[in-house]
């Protein structure tokens, strides 16, 4: 369980650097919202990571198959994040985007190795608790780039901030060097192309049918579309409202973190009674209405207490919705092809955050923050409507986490 804390922290830190710290740095340096929005495209490696995952399964380093890859990618992350602060955002935006793309690639690749390692060291009975701890540690890692780093940026140069932020990856490196390589009863087989790609897809089609699979894919892409768009430029939004970076670091980021963690834990417990289907309906409704809080924040004169309430409610919805959404993906995954299918489903789930969010800056420039958040709420409705087919209210009676493992 302690190792799961380390894997969660190491996995979450680079992503939050990309989606929280870099946008704040760019906006603080005067980069336009349109350009900042386009930076969402650098997250494409999270969408396509399943393409090179087989390589990480095949080739081992002297310190082990899993630990070797984890160590290499963690070392690359320390170096690449530290170098970000060497660039001037106003005249070297393209260079920053390229380096940030490398950070995203190293981060997504580290996730592949970390997920595989965690899956191997946990028994079937430990998977539920271990993955829950991993997710909460993942979220807690946002305190570094989303809070501490922003506070430091008010008192020192951005170059120093990125060096200090990158140093937190050293905790992951220490963990990697201290833990042991998982023991394996059998060696990993070198599957051919058909086994790696086509067999998992054939199993999905035989179990769900073509129409059923299309509905599931559409739901995975759309369920958190509005939510992802609403939070894509949250830090630049707070800056435009006139809040200082210290206020954002102390109030907004903490108001987002703890309700999300509480929502995730509470959602997991509530699903035992509600079931996954009903949880998707109820939690999705909370997720949808919480977006309107941002519209209220954009419409009225912003105050710190209103900022804390709105952000807290929004991320409570995020935590609840994510808990049900993750459980749904796990349920739709075959035990036989769990790794490949889970990677495919999570890659699809990252599409709204990666592709659609790239347009948010242009939309805000055209219609303003208030109407933008109303649009985000409307875009959350199609995903809710798909629940009629993919997760009907009376489609199940009880959800037990052990059934998914």
The DSSP annotation for 101-118 comes to: HHHHHHHHHHHHHHHHHH
Distance of alpha carbon 403 from alpha carbon 382, whole angstroms: 29
Is 127 exposed, middle or buried (CB count within 10 Å of its CB: 0-12, 13-18, 19+)?
A: middle
Q: Tell me the pLDDT band of 188, cut-offs 50, 70 and 90.
A: very low
CATH of the domain at 359: 1.20.1250.20
Is the model's pLDDT at 313 over the cut of 70? yes
For residues 57 and 335, the model is more confident at 57
For residues 199 and 328, the model is more confident at 328
93 and 224 in a common domain: no
Q: Tell me the pLDDT band of 337, cut-offs 50, 70 and 90.
A: low
Give pTM, 2 decimals.
0.69
What percentage of the chain reaches a pLDDT higher than 70?
86
Tell me which range, 35-49, 159-173, 188-202, is most confidently predicted by mean pLDDT.
159-173
Q: What pLDDT does residue 126 have?
A: 62
309 and 174 in a common domain: no
**In degrees, to the nearest 5, what angle opens at C-alpha 37 toward C-alphas 32 and 38?**
100
Q: What is the pLDDT of residues 246-297, one digit of tens each?
A: 888 788 767 887 888 888 777 767 776 787 789 899 989 999 999 999 999 9
Q: What pLDDT does residue 405 have?
A: 36
Structure tokens, 320? 């609840």
96 and 15 in a common domain: yes
166 and 292 in a common domain: no
Is the model's pLDDT at 40 over the cut of 60? yes
Q: What pLDDT does residue 167 have?
A: 95
364 and 233 in a common domain: yes
Is the model's pLDDT at 133 over the cut of 50? yes
Q: Per mean pLDDT, which range of 87-91, 313-317, 329-333 is the poorest?
A: 329-333
Is the model's pLDDT at 26 over the cut of 60? yes
Looking at 153, 182, 211, the residue that finishes a domain is 182
Count of domains in the chain? Answer: 2
Is the model's pLDDT at 77 over the cut of 90? yes
Domain that holds residue 239: 190-405
269 and 216 in a common domain: yes
Residue 64 pairs in a beta bridge with 61
Is 124 exposed, middle or buried (CB count within 10 Å of its CB: 0-12, 13-18, 19+)?
A: exposed
263 and 123 in a common domain: no
Looking at 182, 203, 221, the residue that finishes a domain is 182
Q: What pLDDT does residue 168 have?
A: 95
Q: What pLDDT does residue 388 have?
A: 93
For residues 288 and 193, the model is more confident at 288
75 and 145 in a common domain: yes
281 and 136 in a common domain: no
Mean pLDDT calculated for residue range 351-375: 84
With CA atoms as reference, report the closest residue to 361 among 31, 17, 22.
31
Mean pLDDT calculated for residue range 74-102: 91
For residues 329 and 356, the model is more confident at 329
Q: Which residue has the tokens 């981060």?
A: 107
Q: Tell me the pLDDT band of 217, cut-offs 50, 70 and 90.
A: very high
260 and 176 in a common domain: no
281 and 174 in a common domain: no
Mean pLDDT calculated for residue range 356-385: 89
Looking at 159, 182, 205, the residue that finishes a domain is 182
135 and 281 in a common domain: no
């Amino acid at each position: 369980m302690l190792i799961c804390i380390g894997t969660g922290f190491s996995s979450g830190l680079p992503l939050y650097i990309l989606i929280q710290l870099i946008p704040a740095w760019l906006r603080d340096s005067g980069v336009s919202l349109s350009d900042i929005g386009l930076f969402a495209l650098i997250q494409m490696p999270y969408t396509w990571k399943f393409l090179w995952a087989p390589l990480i399964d095949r080739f081992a380093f002297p310190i082990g198959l899993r630990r070797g890859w984890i160590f290499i990618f963690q070392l690359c992350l320390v170096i690449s994040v530290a170098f970000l602060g060497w660039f001037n955002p106003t005249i070297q935006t393209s260079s920053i985007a390229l380096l940030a793309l490398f950070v995203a690639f190293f981060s997504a690749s580290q996730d592949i190795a970390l997920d595989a390692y965690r899956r191997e060291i946990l028994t079937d009975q430990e998977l539920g608790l271990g993955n829950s701890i991993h997710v909460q540690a993942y979220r807690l890692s946002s305190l570094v780039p989303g809070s501490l780093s922003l506070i430091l940026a008010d008192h020192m140069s951005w170059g120093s901030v990125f060096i200090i932020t990158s140093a937190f990856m050293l905790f992951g490196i220490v963990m990697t060097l201290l833990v042991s390589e998982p023991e394996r009863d059998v060696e990993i087989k070198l599957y051919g192309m058909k086994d790696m790609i086509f067999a998992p897809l054939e199993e999905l089609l035989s179990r769900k049918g073509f129409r059923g699979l299309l509905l599931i894919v559409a739901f995975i892409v759309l369920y958190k579309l509005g939510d992802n768009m609403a939070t894509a430029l949250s830090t630049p939004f707070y800056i435009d409202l006139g809040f200082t970076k210290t206020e954002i670091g102390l109030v907004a980021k903490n108001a987002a973190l703890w309700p999300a963690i509480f929502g995730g834990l509470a959602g997991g417990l509530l699903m035992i009674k509600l079931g996954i289907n009903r949880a998707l309906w109820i939690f999705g409704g909370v997720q949808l209405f919480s977006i309107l809080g941002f519209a209220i924040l954009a419409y009225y004169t912003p105050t710190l207490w209103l900022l804390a309430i709105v952000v807290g409610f929004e991320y409570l919805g995020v935590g609840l919705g994510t808990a049900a959404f993750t459980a749904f993906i796990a349920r739709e995954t075959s035990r036989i092809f769990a790794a490949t299918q889970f990677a495919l489903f999570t890659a699809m789930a990252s599409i709204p955050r990666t592709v659609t969010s790239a347009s948010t800056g242009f939309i805000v420039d055209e219609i303003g923050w208030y109407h933008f958040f109303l649009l985000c709420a409307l875009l959350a409705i199609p995903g809710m409507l798909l629940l009629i087919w993919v997760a009907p209210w009376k489609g199940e009676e009880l959800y037990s986490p052990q059934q998914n493992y």
